[in-house]
Amino acid sequence: MNSLRRLGQYVLDSVEGLGRASLFFLEVASGARKLIRRFDLVVQQVFAVGVLTLLIILVSGLFVGMVLGLQGYNTLSKFGAADSLGLLVALSLVRELGPVVTALLFAGRAGSALTAEIGLMKATEQLAGMEMMAVNPVERVIAPRLVAGIISMPLLAALFSAIGVLGGQLVGVGLLGVDSGAFWSQMQSGVSFHEDVLNGVIKSVVFGVVVTWIAVFQGYESVPTSEGVSRATNRTVVYSSLAVLALDFVMTALMFK
Amino acid sequence: MIQRRQLELWVGVFVAAGLLALAMLAFRVGNLAAGAVTNGYSVQAEFNDIGGLKVRAPVTLAGVRIGRVSSISIDPSNYEAVVTMELDGRYNNIPVDTSASILTAGLLGEQYIGLDPGGSSQYLKNGGRIQVTQSALVLEKIISQFLFNVASKPGAEKK
Amino acid sequence: MSTTQTDPGASGALVEIRNVHFSRGERTILNDLSMTIARGKVTAIMGGSGCGKTTLLNLIGGRLRPSSGQVLVDGISVPELGTRDLFELRKRMGMLFQNGALLTDLDVFENVAFPIREHKRLPEPILRHVVLMKLETVGLRGARELMPAELSGGMARRVALARTISLEPMLVMYDEPFTGLDPISKGVIAKLIRELNTGLGITSVLVSHDVADTCAISDYAYLMGQGHIIGQGTPQEIRQSEAEEVRQFMDGLPDGPVPYRYPAPDYLKDLLQEGPA
């Protein structure tokens, strides 16, 4: 009976949390409209969220592409289809790995930093101080970060996929001797802009919204102590990773019939 | 405020690089460049069986890509597949008696249309039709044909 | 804008709190509390930790709403204000937080300039003049390029004070301004509070549990305990009060109306009892 009650309580809490997060999102979204006049705030956050995540994205993208080149070659050459290596590398990256791995790395690098930063601002009363200075922290602090996350994610994912393709080419063509012409032409004829590239971009935009939303919400709702902030940071990474993977499944099912 | 300028510069570099990567995905990796055939023209061809041919499959002439398949439908009068191809406007001197066949890249690769130029001095125009076509080779049909041939050969069973 | 207009001039009160109740969940934090804060004076609110002093400041600033009762600032009923009107009112009041609450990603100059940049469109040279003037008031004009992390506690609080007065408020609330400061910094802050009060005519509300420093600079003081007022008067009057609760607080007695022991069952019984089976 007790565990049943706990389960019920847990479900209720979760639903309530979701409701609060949704209302918070609406509040931020309506605050974001005022950012057109304060675009400098967004630029600052694109630096913090996007530029500072760039290096890890580029390095990971390169390695993921190279691994795809190696593994793909090993499997494809068994069927005498090594010429399709470019297609395999590009499709894997553009459809799935680019958006998903970028979103996971983004959650770990930028998302956790966002949560910690906002949580710390709350713990040190900076947000309360803004309120008392008649500045709405949701408009001034949260909204620019959300917008910056949504702008940065597709760009990061595109960079990841692009450098991944180059990494695949490096291994496939440079090391394993796949014909360069076949590598690129198979890729071009097999990868469709509308179905593959565009859907990948849509995925990464959705991931950008979700991961940044979770990050700023967890920061804003965190218990304003050092323990509370570290817990919130942890939750950001766990929740956003799960959300990204689950949403990826749903979107893949809808997009690639 | 040098620091601020620097920050803006970095953001600019980041956004430009991201857009560049997106463009690369669209044109170099994807087929947007191939899809956007400038002042192209379309021709049609009917096939008994197109096998696994798909929209946006390449159309080649002597191995060179000159266009793509833009749509595939069924002619309701004779149940043949009607394939519409979008050809690059630069190649406007393809003879009318050219033949089209559906080929496979590699043993199990994807299928594409190969054009074999004829000798006529009249050229295909927009909305034109390729008369001579060869359908796709469907593996099951080839195998069953082969088995049928073996079985019907006299003396084949006696050995 | 729904405001309850009373006559603030007659009573000379800038802030009036009438029969306010405030509870969080089951716990009652403020219980039928009334007080007036005189215009142009330094009013101290003293009391032990957790007696609801900070809650009171948040009620005046409109960050919390009372469960019942009235909070009037300059004749305007704060709990009834919508967001926009509340923000308009807040531009006329400042709050100095315990640790300063400076924005960590901005330097001292930008911190002081922050409210001005957000609310007024001043040309850069004028803004510079205003900010330097405010920093000069607190004696930190030379520290304008430091980041908050490089400041000592006392300096951070002075910068925060400069920021608080940058919009020239009518009311400044100080939340524990002396906590965690060395005697020199304490003296500096106390002097500044007094100077701002007389020099700029700012009404000051000072929340603290630091008896000596607070009494030295305030014109009137309230003593709070368990969510209501246990004593009030000029610092002199409070010092001489005979009320038991007031005496315990002022003299720092370990036991009294506020018990030394947390409620527990009888000691002997507790010892003789077996541990949790």
d(Cα C88, Cα C250) in Å, to the nearest integer? 38
Q: At what angle do helices C108-119 and C153-164 cross, to 10 degrees?
A: 20
- CB contact, 8 Å: C101 with chain A? yes
Residue B1 has pLDDT above 60, yes or no: no
Q: Could you tell me the residue ranges of all domains in chain C? A: 8-92+169-272
- Give yes or no for A132 touching C (CB within 8 A): yes
CB A88 within 8 A of CB C61: no
Chain C nearest-CA distance from A160, in A, is: 30
| d(CA A90, nearest CA chain C) in Å | 41
CA atoms of B145 and B138, how far apart (whole Å): 11
Residues of C in contact with A129 (CB under 8 A): 95, 97, 101-103, 160
Quote the pLDDT of residue B159: 45
What is the sign of the dihedral through the CA atoms of A176, A177, A182 and A185? Answer: positive
- Residue C163, classified by CB atoms within 10 Å of its CB into exposed (0-12), middle (13-18) or buried (19+), is buried
Q: What is the pLDDT of residues C218-272, one digit of tens each?
A: 899 898 887 788 888 888 888 888 787 788 888 877 877 777 778 888 888 888 8
Specify which residues B159 forms β-bridges with: none
- At residue A199's C-alpha, the angle toward residues A198 and A200, to 5°, is 90
Report CB contact under 8 Å: C87, A136: yes
Question: What is the Cα Rg of chain C in Å?
Answer: 21
The first and second tokens of residue A213, run together, are 């939303």
Q: How far apart are CA C268 and CA C233, in angstroms?
A: 44
Smallest Cα–Cα separation from A147: which of A58, A43, A242?
A: A43
Residues of chain A below pLDDT 70: 1, 257
SS (H, E, C) B43-69: EEEEECCCCCCCCCCEEEECCEEEEEE
Determine the average pLDDT of the residues in B66-94: 87
DSSP label at A96?
Answer: I
Count each helix (H run) and each strand (E run) in chain A, helices first: 12, 0
Nearest-Cα distance to chain A for B115, in Å, is 17
C108 three-class SS: helix
C43 and C222 Cβ atoms separated by less than 8 Å:
yes
Q: Chain C contact for A17, CB < 8 A? A: no
Note whether C61 contacts A126, CB cutoff 8 Å.
no
Measured between CA atoms, the residue of chain A closest to residue C90 is A134
Positive or negative: CA dihedral A183, A189, A190, A193: positive
What span, in angstroms and rounded, lies between the C-alpha atoms of B63 and B112? 10
Q: Smallest CA–CA separation between B120 and chain A, in Å?
A: 30
The continuous run of DSSP H or E covering C126 comes out as helix C124-137
State whether residue B30 is helix, strand or coil: coil
**Rounded to a whole number, what is the distance in angstroms from the first to the last CA of chain C?**
63
CA within 13 Å, CB half, A22: 6
B34 confidence band (pLDDT: 50, 70, 90): low
CB contacts of C114 in chain A (<8 Å) are: 133, 135
C in contact with B (at least 3 C-beta pairs within 8 A) = no
Q: Exposure of C260 by Cβ count < 10 A (0-12 exposed, 13-18 middle, 19+ buried)? A: exposed
Task: Find out whether C1 and C81 touch, Cβ atoms under 8 Å.
Answer: yes
Measured CA to CA, the distance from residue A74 to residue A81 in angstroms comes to 10
The pLDDT assigned to C276 comes to: 58
Local structure of B75: helix, strand or coil: strand
Whether A79 sits inside 8 A of B112 (CB atoms) is: no
Interface contact A155-B17, CB threshold 8 A: yes
Edge to edge, what strands does the sheet with B111-116 contain?
B128-130, B41-47, B80-87, B64-75, B58-61, B111-116, B99-104, B132-134
Question: Of A250, A249, A231, A239, whose CA–CA distance to A212 is shortest?
Answer: A239
Beta carbons within 10 angstroms of residue A77's beta carbon? 14
**Interface residue of A37, A133, A140 to substitute, partner C, most C CBs within 10 Å:** A133
Chains with 3 or more CB pairs under 8 A to chain B: A
A140 touches chain C (CB under 8 A): yes
Q: Where are the domains of chain A?
A: 2-255
- In angstroms, rounded to a whole number, what is the distance separating the alpha carbons of residues C42 and C204? 5
What tokens appear for A255 in the block?
């997009």
B60 strand-pairing partners: B65, B114
Checking if the pLDDT of B130 tops 50, the result is yes
A188 vs B contacts (CB less than 8 Å): 28-31, 33-34
The CATH architecture to which C8-92+169-272 belongs is 3-Layer(aba) Sandwich (3.40)
How many whole angstroms separate alpha carbon C256 and alpha carbon C243?
11
What is the C-alpha to C-alpha distance for residues C228 and C51, in angstroms, rounded to an integer?
Answer: 8
Residues in chain B: 159
For residue C138, give the 3-state DSSP assignment.
coil
Half-sphere exposure of C170 (CA within 13 A, CB side): 14
**CA–CA distance, C156 with C161 (Å, rounded to integer):** 9
Contacts of A133 in chain C (CB under 8 A): 90-91, 94, 114-115, 118, 163, 167
Joined tokens for residue A37: 């006049």
Is residue B50 within 8 A of residue B83, CB to CB? The reply is: yes
Pair of tokens at residue C248: 């315990």
pLDDT of residue A257: 66
Whether residue B158 has pLDDT greater than 60? no
Determine the residue type at C46: M
Q: Strand (E) positions, chain C? A: 13-24, 27-38, 42-47, 68-73, 76-77, 93-96, 171-175, 203-208, 220-225, 228-233
**Binary contact (B14, A84; C-beta < 8 A):** no
Q: Given the DSSP bridges, would you call strands C13-24 and C27-38 parallel, antiparallel or unpaired?
A: antiparallel
Residues of chain A contacting B31 with CB distance shorter than 8 Å? 188-189, 191-193
B26–A47 C-beta distance less than 8 A = no
What phi and psi, each to the nearest 5 degrees, are found at residue A113?
-65, -40
Give ipTM to 2 decimals. 0.84
Rounded distance between C-alpha atoms, residue C116 and residue C110, angstroms: 10
Contact C103 A128 (CB under 8 A): no
Of the candidates A47, A184, A187, the beta carbon closest to that of B7 is on: A47
What CA–CA distance (Å, rounded) separates A71 from A67?
A: 6
- Cα separation, C193 vs C74, in Å, equals 21
Cβ atoms C111, C98 nearer than 8 A: no
List chain B domain ranges: 1-30, 37-145
Residue whose tokens read 């019920």: A8
Residue holding tokens 């902030």? A229
Q: Do A132 and C114 make contact, defined as CB atoms within 8 angstroms?
A: no
Task: Identify the pLDDT of residue C12.
Answer: 77
Q: What radius of gyration do chain A's Cα atoms show?
A: 21
Residues of chain C with pLDDT under 70: 1-11, 274-277
The closest CB to that of C118, out of A120, A128, A135, belongs to A135
Interface-testing mutation among C54, C93, C97, with chain A (most A C-beta atoms within 10 A): C97
- Does residue C250 contact residue C238 with C-beta atoms inside 8 Å? yes
Partner residue opposite C90 with nearest CB, options A125, A126, A132 = A132
Q: Please, which residues bridge with residue C232 across strands?
A: C222
